[in-house]
Amino acid sequence: MLLAIDVGNTNVVFGLFAGASLERRWRLATLPDRTADELWVLVSRLFAEHAVDPARIDGVVMSSVVPTLTRAVADMIARGLGQEALRVDARNAGLPIGYENPAEVGADRLVNGVAAVRMYGGSGRPIVIVDFGTATTFDVISAAGEYRGGVICPGVEISADALYQRAAQLPRVEVRKPAVVIGRSTVASMQSGLFHGYVAMVEGMIHRLRAEIEGGARPVCIGTGGLAEDIAAETAVIEHVEPDLTLAGLRFVWERIARGGSGG
């Protein structure tokens, strides 16, 4: 069994694989000050509640975009499981990177790219991954499988919080699709702007990215993250939704290195 860990800005996601099958998935809130001991108390409790024997875990792979938690998670794995976690970064992801400074690319974006190439890279078309996380990111993979770069935008929850915090008369609202685009109340108007505004942003950004992709080829567009299914239901530009894209990418990297593929 393989334990894959994605340390994100909002959640730490744990995925337990038996071979290629994702058997379990858990989320913990990202609290940067959590210690290795605190993390192990929570993780070991999850193992116990779901009858997971830690001794059956053969390997651990992780990606992290929260430096203050990276060491704590690695220490938790070392103490609790007696293993060294494989940390994925630009040096061992196995994805050619066209960024000016490859070390700047978030590990989650790289493993998403690895998964996208493995799952949809045989079509001869470029790939765009839209990840609706704390930030909304667009990552471009060439038809040859090279990570070219992308776009980073504020996530929809960040935008909703900013409206609430910076405008005295605007309430905090739940981000969801309203009944109509033209809102007839403050809450409905805000929900329309947040939801339909992000749909329009995705469509417009894919259009602009396509103009800069070699040959203007229509990319395979993959959505992942919290709002991916809701946004994809409103637009034809997102062809596939893969909720567990990051965990799958971590597994692919682990398997490549375990088989003796380059780790650097």
Residues 6 or more apart whose Cβ sits within 8 Å of residue 87: 61, 62, 63, 64, 70, 74, 107
Boundary-marking domain end, from 45, 60, 87: 87
Determine the structural domain holding residue 30 and report its residue range.
2-87
pLDDT at 261: 59
Q: Cβ distance 219 to 140 under 8 Å?
A: yes
Query: Could you tell me if 230 and 114 lie in one domain?
Result: yes
Query: Could you tell me if 183 and 242 lie in one domain?
Result: yes
Query: Could you tell me if 237 and 175 lie in one domain?
Result: yes
Could you give the C-alpha distances from 77 to 16, 37, 71, 90, 189, in angstroms and in order?
14, 10, 10, 22, 46
pTM here is 0.91
Residues with catalytic annotation? 108
pLDDT at 201: 95
Query: Could you tell me if 128 and 220 lie in one domain?
Result: yes
Phi, psi dihedral angles at 83 (to 5 degrees)? -130, 160
Query: What is the distance, to the nearest Å, from the Cα of residue 197 to the centroid of all Cα atoms in its chain?
Result: 21
How many domains, in total, are found in the chain?
Answer: 2
Strands annotated E in 20-161: 21-29, 59-64, 86-87, 127-132, 135-141, 147-154
Cα atoms in the 13 Å half-sphere on the side-chain side of 89: 13
Boundary-marking domain end, from 29, 59, 87: 87
Q: Would 257 be classed as within a structural domain?
A: no
Q: Would 95 be classed as within a structural domain?
A: no
What tokens does 199 get?
């749909």
CA atoms of 25 and 16, how far apart (whole Å): 6
Query: Could you tell me if 113 and 35 lie in one domain?
Result: no
pLDDT at 78: 95
Looking at residue 182, its amino acid is: I
Please report, in tens digits, the pLDDT of each residue of the chain (264 residues total).
999 999 999 999 999 999 999 999 999 999 999 999 999 999 999 999 999 999 999 999 999 999 999 999 999 999 999 999 999 999 999 999 999 999 999 999 999 999 999 999 988 899 999 999 999 999 999 999 999 999 999 999 889 999 988 888 888 888 889 999 999 999 999 999 999 999 999 999 999 999 998 777 789 999 999 899 999 999 999 999 999 999 999 999 999 998 775 544
Query: Could you tell me if 83 and 106 lie in one domain?
Result: no
CATH at 60: 3.30.420.40
What tokens does 213 get?
């992709």
